[in-house]
């Protein structure tokens, strides 16, 4: 199989499967409920379609190999970085939906999650800046670190959902779990493939084919989750003494402006003594002149 076909075939398959997933989400009318996920699918489909057109033009000899590769290189890496940011947004969205049943924890967790994402994005760009930074090296290093950050976050999020599904009332057949599982699969594929890449850097290698298969499988999984009706979310019941409920109560009260109370020094024995001394000594610190009682009138 030629090098051209090794690149074109995966791009074509990804475009096709992404289009199907986009249709399934739209058909389930969940694009308004999961806007970040919808945007990610839309962006990925468009960027893959542009890459496909670029490669097809090269295959039809309408575009020279060098120009086609220039376009392909920059579209691939820019969309790779943007996709990583969009995936972070999707994970934030899934976290918000997952902890909806515990509003206090949701309220407290959202800013924490937001800042974790923001810091990982800043670190990604900071790591790309070296003394000899060029536009391309910044793009490659930033995209790589962003991919690693979002992959680790996706795996942590998936583990959290898998082990807290009972507490959160999120069944494994729910779309929240399905979407997160898909990103977890992609994360393992990305990390594993990138780590193995130094040993098998061929487009026809088993690692490359496996990586592509995992990607296609994750997207197909999303389609399946959005095609079937979602089971109703379980009612979360927990004992009143549960620590989670206490955390929830504490988190709900945090940040709420409560009524104000006037705080004053409580009257004490020492305060009374100070007042008495001040009355006796006067403001100068000297004994005030005692008013002598009226004496007997001399006759």
Partner 1 sequence: MKFAIRALVLGMLITGFAADHMLANKSVATTANTTMVASISASPVPSCEPGTACGLNK
Interface residues with partner 1 (CB under 8 A) are 3-4, 7, 10, 58, 65-66, 68-70, 72-74, 76-77, 80, 130, 132, 134, 136-137, 140-141, 143-144, 147-148, 151-152, 155-156, 158-159, 162-163, 165, 172, 181, 184-185, 187-188, 190-198, 201, 203, 211
Provide the token pair at 80: 């790779």
Distance (Å, whole) CA 82 – CA 143: 8
Give the shortest CB-242-to-partner 1 separation in angstroms.
21
Count of residues for the chain? Answer: 299
Beta carbons within 10 angstroms of residue 262's beta carbon: 4
Helix ranges (DSSP H) in 164-236: 165-168, 175-196, 206-227
DSSP string of 83-137, one letter each residue:
HHHHHHHHHHHHHHHHGGGSHHHHHHHHHHHHHHHHHHHHHHHHHH--TT--HHH
Nearer Cβ to partner 1, position 135 or 283? 135
The C-alpha torsion from 23 through 83 and 99 to 101, rounded to 10°, is: -30
Give the residue with the Cβ less far from partner 1, 201 or 271.
201
Residue whose CB is less far from partner 1, 188 or 251: 188
Q: How far is the CB of 58 from partner 1 (least distance, A)?
A: 6
Tokens representing 47 are 């960027």
Minimum distance of partner 1 from residue 268's CB (angstroms): 59
Q: Judged by CB, which is closer to partner 1: 134, or 292?
A: 134
Residues 61 and 21 sit within 8 Å (Cβ to Cβ): no
- Alpha carbon distance 207, 22 (integer Å): 27
Smallest gap, in angstroms, from Cβ of residue 252 to partner 1? 30
Nearer to partner 1, 12 or 77 (CB): 77
Smallest distance from partner 1 to CB 17, Å: 17
In the bound complex, what is the minimum distance in angstroms from residue 29's beta carbon to partner 1? 27
Which of residues 216 and 251 has its CB atom nearest to partner 1 in the complex? 216
């Amino acid at each position: 199989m030629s090098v051209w076909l090794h690149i074109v075939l995966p791009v074509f398959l990804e475009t096709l499967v992404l289009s199907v997933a986009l249709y399934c989400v739209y058909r389930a009318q969940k694009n308004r409920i999961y806007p970040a996920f919808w945007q990610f699918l839309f962006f990925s489909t468009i960027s893959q379609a542009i890459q496909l057109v670029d490669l097809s033009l090269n295959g039809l000899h309408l575009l020279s190999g060098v120009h086609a590769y220039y376009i392909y290189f920059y579209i691939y890496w820019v969309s790779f970085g943007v996709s990583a940011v969009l995936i972070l947004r999707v994970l934030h969205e899934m976290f918000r939906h997952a902890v909806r049943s515990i509003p206090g924890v949701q309220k407290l967790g959202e800013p924490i999650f937001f800042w974790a994402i923001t810091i990982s994005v800043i670190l990604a760009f900071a790591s790309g800046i070296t003394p000899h930074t060029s536009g391309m090296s910044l793009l490659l290093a930033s995209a790589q670190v962003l991919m690693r950050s979002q992959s680790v976050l996706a795996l942590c999020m998936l583990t959290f959902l898998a082990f807290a599904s009972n507490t959160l009332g999120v069944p494994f057949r729910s779309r929240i779990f399905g979407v997160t599982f898909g990103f977890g699969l992609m994360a393992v594929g990305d990390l594993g493939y990138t780590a193995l890449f130094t040993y098998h850097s061929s487009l026809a290698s088993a690692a490359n084919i496996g990586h592509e298969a995992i990607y296609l499988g994750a997207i197909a999984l999303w389609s399946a989750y959005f095609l079937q009706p979602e089971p109703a979310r379980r009612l979360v019941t927990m004992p009143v003494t549960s620590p989670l409920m206490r955390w929830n109560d504490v988190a709900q009260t945090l940040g709420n402006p409560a009524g104000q109370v006037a705080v004053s020094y409580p009257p004490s024995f020492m305060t009374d003594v100070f007042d008495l001394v001040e009355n006796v000594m006067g403001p100068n610190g000297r004994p005030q002149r005692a008013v002598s009682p009226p004496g007997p009138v001399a006759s």
